[in-house]
């Protein structure tokens, strides 16, 4: 049974992997045997994470690019594919959030969030899938959100991007499935990441999360890695177009 969850011999690119959920998924995939390519915009932080994985016996490298820059992103996928046995797993995880009341929400900020959280997932998937088609095997995993299916005020661009991401996921699942490539989404609930640090410290919001989550707490980033490994592995070979919610039960009780 353990072989079903093995990623030995696989190469995985995880965007936004220098911290938070991306870092957790990269660690878990490296522990499962994959060579993980960590992406971010800053070489110094990525180099430290790669060293940490190697120190525990894992295989890792890094690729510095901004996912919102299409030319950079596509070139990076090509370079990774050429320098390895080809990309097997793509985790579209990089994302940003902009919070503002609607009356003050600038169109430029809306567009910026969509470009990073949604459009980049499209062109990275388009670039990565070609090698997967040749292999007849591939995994595309998109970090969605519980906001893919529910709403929350002051983050319209984030919610729109995450809802759109699941539409993209299902479309790619339908098109790429015949080639042996699955495409699925992970919907994290509220995890205590660097991105959410201010919210964790906000007593009112912290109480909201703990009260509305049946498990009574925020998620720990380490609790997302197993879901990513599952979707990337042969254990999930018949899971396609699915949204795997990892939220402590929150959306089931909203």
Residues 227-251: what's their mean pLDDT?
A: 97
Residues 226-253: what's their mean pLDDT?
A: 95
Residue 198 has pLDDT above 90, yes or no: no
Write down the pTM of the prediction. Answer: 0.96
pLDDT band at 179 (very low <50, low <70, confident <90, very high): very high
First to last CA, the chain: 35
For 2-188+224-246, CATH number?
3.40.50.720
181-to-22, 75, 136, 189 alpha-carbon distances in Å = 21, 22, 7, 26
**Range list of H helices, 1-119:** 20-31, 43-55, 70-83, 107-114
Residues 218-242: what's their mean pLDDT?
A: 97
Within 10 A of 197 (CB to CB), how many other CB atoms are there?
A: 10
Residue 254 has pLDDT above 80, yes or no: no
Residues 125-142: what's their mean pLDDT?
A: 98
Quick check: is 158 catalytic? yes
pLDDT band at 2 (very low <50, low <70, confident <90, very high): low
Could you tell me the residue ranges of all domains in the chain?
2-188+224-246, 192-219
Say which of 123, 158, 190, 238 is annotated catalytic.
158
Residues 134-150: what's their mean pLDDT?
A: 96
Residue 1 has pLDDT above 80, yes or no: no
């Amino acid at each position: 049974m353990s072989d079903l969850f093995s990623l030995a011999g696989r190469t995985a690119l995880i965007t936004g992997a220098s911290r938070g959920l991306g870092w957790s998924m990269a660690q878990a995939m490296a522990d499962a045997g994959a060579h993980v390519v960590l992406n971010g915009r800053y070489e110094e932080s990525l180099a430290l994470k790669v060293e940490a994985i190697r120190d525990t016996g894992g295989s890792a490298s890094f690729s510095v690019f901004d996912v919102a820059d299409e030319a950079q992103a596509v070139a990076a996928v090509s370079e990774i594919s050429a320098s390895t046995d080809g990309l097997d797993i793509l985790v579209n995880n990089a994302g940003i959030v902009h919070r503002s009341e609607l009356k003050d929400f600038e169109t430029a900020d809306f567009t910026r969030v969509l470009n990073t959280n949604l459009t980049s997932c499209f062109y990275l998937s388009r670039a990565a899938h070609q090698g997967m088609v040749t292999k007849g095997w591939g995994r595309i995993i998109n970090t969605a959100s519980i906001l893919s299916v529910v709403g929350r005020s002051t983050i319209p661009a984030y919610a729109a991007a995450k809802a759109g991401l699941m539409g993209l996921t299902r479309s790619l699942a339908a098109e790429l499935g015949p080639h042996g490539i699955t495409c699925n989404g992970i919907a994290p609930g509220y995890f205590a990441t660097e991105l959410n640090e201010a919210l964790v410290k906000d007593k009112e919001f912290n109480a909201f999360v703990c009260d509305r989550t049946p498990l009574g707490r925020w998620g720990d980033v380490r609790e997302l890695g197993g879901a990513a490994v599952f979707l990337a592995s042969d254990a999930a070979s018949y899971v396609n177009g699915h949204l795997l919610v990892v939220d402590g039960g929150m959306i089931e009780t909203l």
